[in-house]
Chains A and B, each alone.
Chain A
Amino acid sequence: MVTLEDYGTFETAWCPGCGNFSILSAVKKALVGLGLKPHQVLLVSGIGQAAKAPHYIRANVFNGLHGRALPVATGAKLANPELTVIAESGDGCTYGEGGNHFLAAIRRNINLTLLVHNNQIYGLTKGQASPTTEEGRITKAQPQGVPSAPFNPLAVAVAMQAGFVARAFSGMADHLTDLIQQAVSHHGFSLIDILQPCISFNLVNTLAWYKKRCYALPDDYDPAQWEPAMKTAMEWGERIPVGVIYRNKRPSFEDHFPVLKQGPLVGRGVDQKKVKQILGSYA
């Protein structure tokens, strides 16, 4: 039996009232719900407030560089596919600095889960615009208003036919926990873009702002349909859908490597006879 206690309790460095807390607790609950033991789980993050989350969970952790959680997670998953790998970071980390890795992870369809704490702002560096900040928003670093259009990670992911694309809201805790369980269970790359208030630097997209707008996708919504999914991914404004927006059954990246059929790479030795044969072909 795995319990919440197994995943530990830690003192955090977050502002009281921050959306990160409920995401943290949802992740722990989801892992417990899935019956995963801490040593079976690897959490990989980049840098930012969100990226600290793995430090507050008792599991294997690799807290790497800004924007680089996905390649580290990909390498670890390939070395040992038996690990349940979850990459967790902020919107700046994942969509800004890590943009190219985000696209590559979708293309690979590597079997891991990406949780993005999307507070539409840079928290740790104190309130600059992030790739998801709305156009025209005034910040200390963008006093004339943000000059670029916001990035829509869900539309991009659906457009690229990512394996599992979902939006969540930190204020809908049970819904979020359920989505995380679905994402981790999905065989292939899973993205959950989690809307999260930042009480210190994003004074527009507050808890109340999201609460007013976020609605759960109805039960008869079919995430297997690509075109409606594309439309749903674009929905933003007065009403914001949350739930599994798109899902497919593409083979995962690891499925393409015959060497992984015999189990993980880690722990395997070297057949020097084969090396000798290869060397012999240079005669």
Chain B
Amino acid sequence: MTDRSVNVVFGGEAGQGLVTIGQLLAKGLVRNGFFIVVTQGYQSRIRGGHNTFSIRTSAEEVRAPQETIDLLICLDIQTRAIHGPELSSQGLMVVDSGWEGNGLACLEVPFKKLAAARFSNILALGVAGALIGLPEEVVGQALEEFFIHKPPSVAGENRKILKTAYQWTEGQPVSFPKLPYPSHPGRRWMMHGNEAIALGALSAGLKFFSFYPMTPSTSIALTLSPQAEAMGLIVEQAEDEIGAINMAIGASFAGVPSMVSTSGGGFALMVEGVSLAGMTETPLVIVVAQRPGPATGLPTRTEQADLEFILYAGHGEFPRAVFTPGSVEACFRLIRKAFELAELAQTPVFLLTDQFLADSYRAIDPFEVSDLSPVRPGTEWSGPVASYLRYALTETGISPRLLPGRSEHLVVADSDEHTEDGHLTEDLSIRKQMVGKRLKKIETLVRQVDPPEFSGDTKPDLLLVTWGSTRGSVLEAAAKMRSKGKRVGTLHFSQVWPLVPEQFMGFLKEAGEVVCVEGNAFGQLSRLIRQETGFQIAKQVLRYDGLPITPEFIIKAFEERFH
């Protein structure tokens, strides 16, 4: 138990139903007002291998995963060997009878005696629920909803197994400390990062989504597809990523808010399309869920190493914005902002997440959507038909965008350098004007930047700087350091481009020491800050072993390297 939170880890082979029971327990917890942070660890295979579904939960807000395990549910013997050593001092391991605990605190469950093998995972769920003190009724209800589309007997059978598990566990002489209950349980939703991105996009007016499957971005498509008919959008699995991005550009050109999602390897193929959106000034939202590279890398693990790739992806120079949400709520808020900004500046806008956040279920406060307005593509333009110029040179660099076929105006877009009316040109003086026009849009982007979030002690001895999904771990690590008497601040970037130095240089300069925390080997945010401001962040906490950064990882780095 760490600070009144419990880290429950289900471990086993793919195909053992571990994600299902993990989700069910998580749902039960959220329904009862608990906070959760889910971390999913899986291998690139459908059956076998070693997978984990970890739920860190507490009555108070938790924002980060935890490395030590309080309750380890071993669905296979490998789990005991791999994760047994990660048990916390009060930790408990649940194993099949006869496996033995190797000297670790251990509850042996006679799985085979209690139920048929195909119910082992539901038994495990019941044992876990009973141990942490979540009422059987709550887990049972989640279970029934899960089987809602099956004949009622299926849910009934599973409920029986759950009851058996609870009764058996409650009769055991183990003393696993029960979770303290929330004093004012709030009503929350359970959602992971990719779901929040999909739903935020829907509320922003997404009408066209094309993709080519690639972990860990695919669940965005899986969230959107079932809603396509009700919400009036088209979801298309393209022939490849090149097809996906060009299709979305075509749809956006024709006037509907469009988005693509992928991961690094797929994005590598999309790059020419990014440049096309930049040149043709077509609004486009691109979601990249990072996983470790280079090449196919570690397909199912996490990393934050594509920042530099996203910043510079595309040949030639054109404006862009890059959002890097630090929480599930921010995924929802910032994907909406990405749509608005893409339309406003008529340029590609990125949302950069990673496997950890993409798959991380959280308990979130419900979003109010009734008063959120969707993006409206195109502009009002009352000039005469013949004088419409798609790329008219304007003060702001933003030209009136009309939609082909919606009026008598003709819309001409070109990937070659073009004149104001969209036709290709090799006139080099026009070229210069057009570059100037496109780059002017940066001013619009700069005015809209989501400022970095500072928290903690002002003028701190130590400032932890970070971006994206690492936010929660940095906040928690800082809180821990503060509780030991150190003055610590944190600075989180939920948008890494454009950077507006006036928004954050003060924090960097006022801090005694600045340390950047990120999930890559180069220290990519540090490099970017130095490039843009000249400010050198000398110390880094970097992780690139495929696992998310945790508060323990940060604190250990300080203990081992800096002091």
Binding site for B on A (CB under 8 A): 37-40, 42, 44, 47, 52, 55, 58-65, 68, 71-80, 82-83, 100-101, 103-104, 257-260, 262, 265-276, 278-279, 282-283
Q: Which listed residue, A63, A75, A76, touches B210 by the CB 8 Å rule?
A: A75
Q: A72-B249, A80-B256, A266-B406 are in contact. List 16 more A-B contacts (CB 8 A).
A: A39-B404, A42-B254, A42-B404, A61-B414, A65-B246, A65-B272, A72-B246, A75-B210, A75-B248, A79-B207, A80-B404, A104-B243, A257-B234, A265-B251, A282-B191, A283-B190
Q: Which listed residue, B190, B228, B370, B404, touches A276 by the CB 8 Å rule?
A: B370
Taken together as a complex, chains A and B put the C-alpha atoms of A80 and B208 apart, in Å, by 11
Q: Which residues from B are CB-within-8-Å of A275?
A: 199, 202-203, 231, 369
Taken together as a complex, chains A and B put the C-alpha atoms of A44 and B424 apart, in Å, by 14
Indicate if B458 sits at the interface (CB-CB under 8 A): no
User: How far in angstroms is the closest Cβ of chain B from A183?
Assistant: 19
Taken together as a complex, chains A and B put the C-alpha atoms of A268 and B424 apart, in Å, by 32
Between A and B, 17 residue pairs with Cβ closer than 8 Å are A39-B409, A59-B410, A63-B415, A65-B246, A71-B242, A73-B250, A74-B247, A75-B249, A78-B251, A79-B255, A83-B404, A259-B232, A259-B233, A270-B203, A279-B189, A282-B195, A283-B190
Interface centre among A40, A75, A282 (most CB of B within 10 A): A75
**A75 and B258 form a contact (CB under 8 A):** yes
Interface residues of B in 235-251 (CB under 8 A from A): 236, 238-240, 242-244, 246-251
Q: Which residues from A are CB-within-8-Å of B272?
A: 65, 68
Question: Total interface residues on B, using CB and 8 Å?
Answer: 70
**B195 and A71 form a contact (CB under 8 A):** no
Taken together as a complex, chains A and B put the C-alpha atoms of A77 and B246 apart, in Å, by 13
Q: Which residues from B are CB-within-8-Å of A59?
A: 410
**B253 and A62 form a contact (CB under 8 A):** yes
**A72 and B250 form a contact (CB under 8 A):** yes
User: How far in angstroms is the closest Cβ of chain A from B525?
Assistant: 31
Closest B residue to A38 by beta carbon equals B410
Binding site for A on B (CB under 8 A): 31, 187-191, 195, 199, 202-205, 207-208, 210, 227-234, 236, 238-240, 242-244, 246-256, 258, 272-273, 276, 280, 366-367, 369-370, 372, 374, 377, 403-416, 422-424
**B236 and A104 form a contact (CB under 8 A):** no
Q: Which residues from A are CB-within-8-Å of B410?
A: 38-39, 58-61
Taken together as a complex, chains A and B put the C-alpha atoms of A42 and B405 apart, in Å, by 8
Top 9 nearest A-B pairs by Cβ distance? Answer: A75-B250, A60-B404, A72-B250, A75-B251, A71-B246, A75-B247, A79-B254, A104-B239, A266-B255
Taken together as a complex, chains A and B put the C-alpha atoms of A268 and B374 apart, in Å, by 10
| B contact patch SS | mixed
User: How far in angstroms is the closest Cβ of chain A from B63?
Assistant: 19
Q: Which residues from A are CB-within-8-Å of B202?
A: 270, 275, 278
Taken together as a complex, chains A and B put the C-alpha atoms of A191 and B253 apart, in Å, by 23
Q: Which residues from A are CB-within-8-Å of B31?
A: 283
Q: Which residues from A are CB-within-8-Å of B369?
A: 272, 275-276, 279
User: How far in angstroms is the closest Cβ of chain B from A73?
Assistant: 6
Taken together as a complex, chains A and B put the C-alpha atoms of A66 and B414 apart, in Å, by 12
Closest B residue to A83 by beta carbon equals B405
Taken together as a complex, chains A and B put the C-alpha atoms of A38 and B412 apart, in Å, by 12
**A282 and B190 form a contact (CB under 8 A):** yes
Closest A residue to B30 by beta carbon equals A283
Taken together as a complex, chains A and B put the C-alpha atoms of A61 and B256 apart, in Å, by 17
**B189 and A76 form a contact (CB under 8 A):** no
Tell me how many residue pairs across A and B have CB atoms closer than 8 Å. Answer: 202
Closest A residue to B190 by beta carbon equals A282
**A79 and B256 form a contact (CB under 8 A):** yes
Q: Which listed residue, B208, B233, B242, B416, touches A75 by the CB 8 Å rule?
A: B208
User: How far in angstroms is the closest Cβ of chain A from B101?
Assistant: 38
User: How far in angstroms is the closest Cβ of chain B from A41?
Assistant: 8
**B423 and A55 form a contact (CB under 8 A):** yes
Q: Which residues from B are CB-within-8-Å of A61?
A: 410-414, 422
Taken together as a complex, chains A and B put the C-alpha atoms of A47 and B417 apart, in Å, by 13
Q: Which listed residue, B231, B239, B258, touches A101 by the CB 8 Å rule?
A: B239
User: How far in angstroms is the closest Cβ of chain B from A6?
Assistant: 11
Q: Which residues from A are CB-within-8-Å of B187?
A: 283
Interface centre among A60, A258, A272 (most CB of B within 10 A): A60
Q: Which listed residue, A64, A100, A259, A260, touches B280 by the CB 8 Å rule?
A: A64
**A62 and B413 form a contact (CB under 8 A):** yes
**A75 and B254 form a contact (CB under 8 A):** yes
Taken together as a complex, chains A and B put the C-alpha atoms of A78 and B189 apart, in Å, by 34
Taken together as a complex, chains A and B put the C-alpha atoms of A61 and B409 apart, in Å, by 12
Q: Which residues from B are CB-within-8-Å of A42?
A: 254, 404-405
User: How far in angstroms is the closest Cβ of chain B from A70?
Assistant: 8
Interface centre among B188, B246, B273, B369 (most CB of A within 10 A): B246
User: How far in angstroms is the closest Cβ of chain A from B378?
Assistant: 9
**B208 and A101 form a contact (CB under 8 A):** no
Taken together as a complex, chains A and B put the C-alpha atoms of A82 and B256 apart, in Å, by 14
**A68 and B370 form a contact (CB under 8 A):** no
**B250 and A74 form a contact (CB under 8 A):** yes
Q: Which residues from B are CB-within-8-Å of A101?
A: 239, 242-243, 246
Q: Which residues from B are CB-within-8-Å of A74?
A: 247, 250
User: How far in angstroms is the closest Cβ of chain A from B408?
Assistant: 5
Q: Which listed residue, B229, B232, B242, B367, touches A265 by the CB 8 Å rule?
A: B232
User: How far in angstroms is the closest Cβ of chain A from B92?
Assistant: 31
**A76 and B243 form a contact (CB under 8 A):** no
**A265 and B416 form a contact (CB under 8 A):** no
Q: Which listed residue, A58, A77, A272, touches B203 by the CB 8 Å rule?
A: A272
Q: Which residues from A are CB-within-8-Å of B242?
A: 68, 71, 100-101
User: How far in angstroms is the closest Cβ of chain B from A95?
Assistant: 15
Q: Which listed residue, A78, A83, A271, touches B231 by the CB 8 Å rule?
A: A271
**A100 and B240 form a contact (CB under 8 A):** yes
User: How far in angstroms is the closest Cβ of chain B from A270?
Assistant: 4
Interface centre among A77, A259, A266, A269 (most CB of B within 10 A): A266
Interface centre among A39, A82, A258 (most CB of B within 10 A): A39
With A282-B189, A282-B195 known as contacts, the answer to whether A270 contacts B374 (CB < 8 A) is yes
**B199 and A279 form a contact (CB under 8 A):** yes
Interface centre among A42, A58, A78 (most CB of B within 10 A): A78
Taken together as a complex, chains A and B put the C-alpha atoms of A58 and B421 apart, in Å, by 11
Taken together as a complex, chains A and B put the C-alpha atoms of A258 and B31 apart, in Å, by 35
**B424 and A63 form a contact (CB under 8 A):** yes
Taken together as a complex, chains A and B put the C-alpha atoms of A76 and B413 apart, in Å, by 13
Q: Which residues from B are CB-within-8-Å of A279?
A: 189, 199, 366-367, 369
Closest A residue to B239 by beta carbon equals A104
**B232 and A71 form a contact (CB under 8 A):** no
